Amino acid sequence: MNLTTNQLEFDRLHIWHPYEVAEPVDSAIPIARAEGVHLIQPNGRELIDGMSSWWCAIHGYNHPTLNEAIHRQTQKMAHVMFGGFAHQPAIDLARTLLSIAPEGLRHIFFCDSGSIAVEVALKMALQYMQATGQPQRSRFMTIRHGYHGDSFGAMSVCDPDQGMHHLFARFLPVQVFADSPDCGFHEPWRPESFDPFRTLFARHQPELAAVILEPIIQGAGGMRFYHPKYLEEVRTLCSEHGVLLILDEIATGFGRTGTLFACEHAGIAPDIMCIGKALTGGYLSLAATLASETVADGICSGGRPLMHGPTFMANPLACAVAKASVDLLLNSNWKAKVKLIEKRLARGLAPARKLENVKDVRVLGAIGVMEMLEEAPLRAVQEYAIHKGVWLRPFGRLIYTMPPYICDEEQIDTIAGVMVELAQYLLTRQPDHE
């Protein structure tokens, strides 16, 4: 379907897009349909999607198995309130997720989105502490350069200075922030790198309900990869002092880092875990918060309910396609696919290390990052990449990719090649071309 000039102008004047002004200077880029790994523009131009639609479309687009799951469920029941009712799509999905979750996670709460999964996790921790006679434990500890979502509780545990939510700082609860880990994933472990976290934790431990972290890879706060031993040390510290550990696996879950969940790199399990994004393969908004038996029993002791209940909780359509997506992943050779993507990205992005405007290049699983010395101009980067047949959306100083797992070697090589070309282009591009 072709979008007319009038339709695009209406979109520009009246429809807000993520992190955009109400009436942007430039129109959004029109997409007519999507197939496989390609986003297809109205003029027929095909773009390899290097972003998996913000990291969720791991199987690509218009997948017959996922299409069929949606269609089949539509014939039965598109939605029903979850208050007081049970249905098979939710039960089937919950059974699968709990069977593959890190050890000890035995209860699941279905949410609307990733941000709300984090909100529910924070509520779980606070209710647990209140129910177990520890109401003074009402704060959260995390690390800088983190990102956990755009809702208010989630914003309070995002980086307060370098993150995108500093405008709301005076309205948010004040949490405890340690410096981001300085020992990289592929570096030898340095025990002293954990000392700052340990010291800050000791100072605030009596008031902490939980520590919340993105395991191994910090996402939208900086795409930083840290050492698994750091996460292992956090788990030990929390266990020793009765502080809950919340892991935000929304971006890292379902194979993105090379393990099914990123915490597996450290061989640990959280008390509470958030999942989302790739859960439905990019078809519908759905997330979940998983909790241990101990947490669930503590919250609900004395018949207390968990105080959250979204209207679209456990939507049958979303649960049905999520079950199909997770099964599709588990029944595929996803580990080999992600390993291949990692290998091709590492090879393809290597030349960028020699460029004077590139600070760092890092690759883990199906994630490739070029960190620039200066901010990457969003529109210029996107226009150049589109001209080369690739869709990328940089942020800040980061030009990165999280491609669908179904990409072949040639497509991954194309994405990596365009990213390197982009860095070269930005070296010669004149500022007044903005």
Q: Which residues are catalytic?
A: 19, 147, 248, 277
Which is nearest to 144 in space by CA: 191, 50, 212, 59?
Answer: 212
Give all strands (DSSP E) within 129-192, no chain letters. 139-143, 176-178
Rounded CA-CA distance 287/318 in Å is: 10
Which H or E run contains 400? strand 398-401
403 near 393, Cβ under 8 Å? no
DSSP 36: B
Residues 6+ apart with CB under 8 A from 373: 357, 358, 359, 397
391 near 39, Cβ under 8 Å? yes
DSSP states of 303-317: GPPPS---TTTT-HH
Neighbours of 307 (CB within 10 A): 11
132-to-123, 166, 298 alpha-carbon distances in Å: 14, 33, 6
Which is nearest to 256 in space by CA: 364, 127, 118?
Answer: 364
Establish how many alpha carbons lie within 13 A of residue 279's alpha carbon, considering only the half-sphere containing its beta carbon: 30
